[in-house]
Structure 1
Amino acid sequence: DAPSIYDIPKVLHREGLDAYIVRRLGLPFHDVEWGEWDSLLAKVHKPAHTVKVGLVGKYVDLPDAYLSVTEALRAGGFDNNAKVEIKWVVSDDCESAAGAEKLLGDVDAICVPGGFGVRGIEGKLGALKFAREKKIPALGLCLGLQCMVIEVARNLAGIAGANSAEFDPTTKDPVIATMAGQEKIVAGDGDMGATMRLGLYKAKLQKGSIVAEVYGSEEISERHRHRYEVNNSYREKLTTAGIVFSGISPDGNLVEFVELPREVHPYYVGTQAHPEFRSRPTRPHPLFSGLIKAALARGKR
């Protein structure tokens, strides 16, 4: 048995399996340079810090459902010389303030990943409210961003009935709406197959924002898979309430990133994308690295 999954490549190399395969396939090859990977293994086995991240979802009984997210969190830990411990949190149990406090009171950071459907949504909102009020570093992915917007709308913007058209098609305040061109499909008048907004899309980031800082750029590209978006009709009111729409599609029509200002919260960031798909052990994604960095900074205060 290997000490970790990250040790497997060197185990296979020592046994000659890699050389055997490339020879059998007639592929060109050269000596392996292990410097970068050895540096990674040093961080895997001898981290200087430990960070506990609460992953709030409704599929936590099947951890592989979030494998890309947990690996991206761990890679963010490697980038900060930290071991990331995942605390699996059932979103339904965070619906009340007491439930969120009980389950998330001991974590250093919170991640709300993507998903579909209304089940567990109120719990995700409860978890994000707890993170916002307690200033716990938080990262929302896809649906996680949408939940951040709903939570701010209800509790800071005074829109008590704010919701998503996905969860309540009859809501009077759909701060999250069906994307243009998707209405008939959602209504059942079209084939839903391969109709979501899929693939790599560019975004322009606001100068001086947290996301621009962690990316080190004001123009980035991320992978997407969604059918709903922030309703532009509410952007002005939500901005007044304090949320920052820090990343927008190049045409200005679609919200790609949200955050709270640094003076309000150390790291409260959401993206409509799935950045976990672009993370690698030796190339951690900046949003996850930023989350872990903020968690470490909070722990030192």
Structure 2
Amino acid sequence: MTTNYIFITGGVVSSLGKGIVAGSLAAILEARGLLVTIIKLDPYINVDPGTISPTQHGEVFVTGDGAETDLDLGHYERFIRTRMGRRNNCTTGRIYADVLHKERRGDYQGATVQVIPHITNAIKEQITEGGVGYGVVLVEIGGTVGDIESLPFLEAIRQMAVDLDRAHTMYIHLTLVPYLAVAGEVKTKPTQHSVKELLSIGIQPDVLICRSTFSVPVNECRKIARFCNVAEKAVISLKDVDSIYKIPGMLKSQGLDDYICKHFNLHVPEADLGEWEQVVYEEANPCGELHVGMVGKYVALPDAYKSVIEALKHAGLKNRVTVHIDLIDSQDIESRGIDRLKDLDAILIPGGFGCRGIHGKLLTVQYARENQVPYLGICLGMQLAVIEFARNVVHMADANSTEFSPACQYPVVALITEWHDSQGNIIQRTEQSNLGGTMRLGSQQCQLTHHSLAHNLYGSKMIIERHRHRYEINKNFLKQIKEAGLRVTGHSGDNQLVEIIEIPSHPWFLACQFHPEFTSTPRDGHPLFIGFIQAAFRYQKNFKK
């Protein structure tokens, strides 16, 4: 199979939405029957985003094979059926780490290690290895053209056009065409300068996608084509829209997929975007609206919870309701009380790390449990549900997680090495864990209890979900907790770890150790989120009067 490569760069300003564009374009090509994947190259020097604060970089998206990756891979999986893996995301840090490891091992036989050819060759290897078995590989280059950090990546993709033959490579450049309200016109000069920057390093873009507040007029598109040396039909206008799921249709309507297929000499059927048209229709025609409170500590940057937010929206589509998500700082609950929660139709606590805001989250769990409000806890949200139940129902006053209180009397949540030894006895923490590479990551099997809420939602006894955590529910305290009314309805494949808990006496109270948001898509949704939104709708109709 011949593999064709589409390289997507960005110019003028950052945050133009290269990941959304890459995913949308991939969705169209996939709809034409092509086998498509996407690779993200990030210029930062961290080996992966796993230890970067969500307030700086947004969420860490976890793939099925356990890679901690850029949040754009979440966009990719929401747009196409291809599942991402560790080969789909690479950083400057990883490239340099691999090259230096080879140098220390003697692989270069005493040669002076340089950016060209060693670093650029390593980048090209990453791209070609990630594209094995696919007809089209879209490669998104992080950052903005002109940034010093991205130069090795740009040089590598320039070389690939020479190495592979220009007929099997294409360059798409995403730029901003600003609208000046005072002048009443759009300005093309920033795009011209951005393309000039690309040309200075030897890359001539084949397609320009122009982001703007409004559609770029035909005369301006023609001007851009003339000054940037691209075909007029290869200048694509991409105006701001109220839904990212409209973008595949917008790109197709301007013939971008036809242009690409002609460039690569691909004879494939027209794209059927019926599924995306259905998504857009569902989004535009809701039958109601709900308010879901998401209580966390990174609420100043919604991208920290990007997949959860999208999963709630997907569930809204499947239930034909608009889901308004109220991002609530858990520290506000601590300082101002629970009044902030009283107008909500449902409450969700997502994953997280660290002790800041934990008390506010515990108050939130207690409020949801005692007031019959639908509750979904994810990862930390499940651990806190168990702690709150142990404290306030089982009367283990000092119940806690050893992450927050290593010397607590009832470590109902702890590292496995802390909660049992070979004889099942409780043991104490003896050493501090490293941050990198010590977590339970990636897809794991989960066995569901028959006739449980989780089993009814999934319709299956065995499921596979993705994990990202270190701490587990301590089995030594489960007997007392279960006797008080909490039910464990999901166990790990080996039956050793708690994966899902429920409170049967509550209308809808479910928490899971894994991250279901990572596998939710707009076309399919996810069973837990769909059930959660259904419960919120029932609560709104039956309890809020």
TM-score under structure 1 normalisation? 0.93
Aligned-partner Cα distance in 1 for 2:337–2:268: 55
Distance in 2 (CA, whole Å) between partners of 1:32 and 1:160 is: 60
| CA 1:187–1:20: 2 relative to 1, 3 Å | farther
Shift of 1:7: 0.9
**Does structure 1 residue 210 correspond to structure 2 residue 453?**
yes
Which residue of 509, 518, 523 maps to 1:277?
518
Residues 1:99 and 2:315 aligned together: no
Q: What is the identity, as a one-letter code, of the residue corresponding to 1:41? A: V
1:102-117 to structure 2, matched below 5 A, reads 102-117=339-354
**For residue 252 of structure 1, what is the aligned residue in structure 2?**
495
**Percent of counterpart pairs with the same letter?**
45
CA-CA distance at 1:30 after TM superposition: 2.5
SS in 1 for 2:307: helix
What is the root-mean-square deviation in Å for CA atoms of aligned residues? Answer: 2.0
Distance apart, 1:59 and its partner CA:
0.3
CA shift at 1:38, angstroms? 1.5
C-alpha distance in structure 1 between counterparts of 2:342 and 2:464, whole Å: 34
Counterpart CA distance in 2 for 1:142 and 1:21 is 42
Contact 2:447 2:493 in 1 (8 A): yes
TM-score if structure 2 supplies the norm length?
0.52
SS in 2 for 1:194: coil
The code of the aligned residue for 2:351 comes to: G
* Amino acid corresponding to residue 288 of structure 1 in structure 2: F
Q: Is the 8 A contact 1:72 1:280 kept in 2?
A: yes
- Aligned partner of 1:162 in structure 2 is 399
Q: Which of 35-44 and 278-287 deviates more?
A: 35-44
1:49 corresponds to: 288
CA shift at 1:8, angstroms? 1.1
Aligned to 1:187: 431
Answer yes or no: is the 8 Å Cα contact 1:51–1:108 preserved in 2: yes
Query: Residue 95 of structure 1: SS of its match in structure 2?
Result: helix
Identify the residue that residue 142 of structure 1 maps to in structure 2: 379
Report the Cα distance in structure 2 between the residues aligned to 1:69 and 1:192, rounded to whole angstroms. Answer: 23
> Structure 1 residue 8 and structure 2 residue 247: aligned?
yes
Q: Structure 1's 46 and 258: CA in aligned 2 closer, same or farther, altered over 3 A?
A: same
Match of 1:86 in 2: 325
Greater C-alpha Rg: 2
Counterpart in 2 of 1:65?
304
Matched, 1:240 2:483: yes
Q: Deviation per CA, 1:93-125: give whole Å up to 9, x if none.
A: 2237x722x111111011100000000111111
Residue deviations 1:12-46 (CA, integer Å, cap 9, x gap): 11122233334445556421112222221111011
* Conserved? CA contact 1:185–1:192, under 8 Å: no
Residues 1:19 and 2:262 are matched in the alignment:
no
Matched, 1:290 2:531: yes
Deviation string 1:49-93 (CA, Å, 9 cap, x unpaired) is: 101100100000011100100000000111101110001111112
Partner of residue 472 from structure 2, selected from 229, 244, 251 = 229
Mind listing any 5+ residue stretches in structure 1 that lack a counterpart?
none
Q: Deviations over 1:199-219 (max 9, x none)?
A: 100011111110001111111
Kindly state the Cα deviation for residue 179 of structure 1 after the two structures are TM-superposed.
2.4
CA distance in 2, matches of 1:201, 1:7: 33
CA distance in 1: counterparts of 2:530 and 2:470, whole angstroms: 27
Rounded Cα–Cα distance in structure 2 between residues aligned with 1:169 and 1:250:
28
User: Does the 8 Å CA contact 2:297/2:357 hold for their aligned counterparts?
Assistant: yes
- Alpha-carbon separation, structure 2, partners of 1:149 and 1:26: 58
Can you list the C-alpha shifts for 1:237-274, whole angstroms capped at 9, x where unaligned?
1101111111011222100000110xx21111100001
In structure 2, the residue matched to 1:129 is: 366
Q: 1:171 to 1:55 in 2, by over 3 A?
A: same
Equivalent-residue separation in structure 1 for 2:272 and 2:280 (angstroms): 14
Give 1:122's aligned amino acid: H
Contact 2:502/2:511 (CA < 8 Å) preserved in 1? yes
Q: Kindly indicate whether structure 1 or structure 2 has the higher relative contact order, using CA contacts under 8 Å at least 6 residues apart.
A: 1
State the secondary structure of the residue aligned to 2:356: coil
Distance in 2 (CA, whole Å) between partners of 1:69 and 1:294 is 17
Aligned length: 296
Give every structure 1 segment of 4 or more consecutive aligned residues whose post-TM-superposition deviation is greater than 3 Å: 21-29, 180-186
Provide the rounded CA distance (Å) in 1 between the counterparts of 2:356 and 2:301.
16
What letter matches 1:8 in structure 2?
Answer: I
**Does the Cα contact within 8 Å between 1:125 and 1:147 map onto a contact in 2?**
yes
Distance in 2 (CA, whole Å) between partners of 1:145 and 1:28 is 50
8 Å CA contact retained: 1:2, 1:11:
no
Greater shift, 26-35 or 68-77, is seen at 26-35
Please give the alpha-carbon distance, in whole angstroms, between the structure 2 residues aligned to 1:169 and 1:22.
59
Query: What code does the residue aligned with 2:353 have?
Result: F
For residue 355 of structure 2, what is the amino acid of its counterpart?
V
Structure 2 Cα separation of the partners of residues 197 and 236 of structure 1: 25
Contact between 1:185 and 1:191, CA under 8 Å: does it hold in 2? no
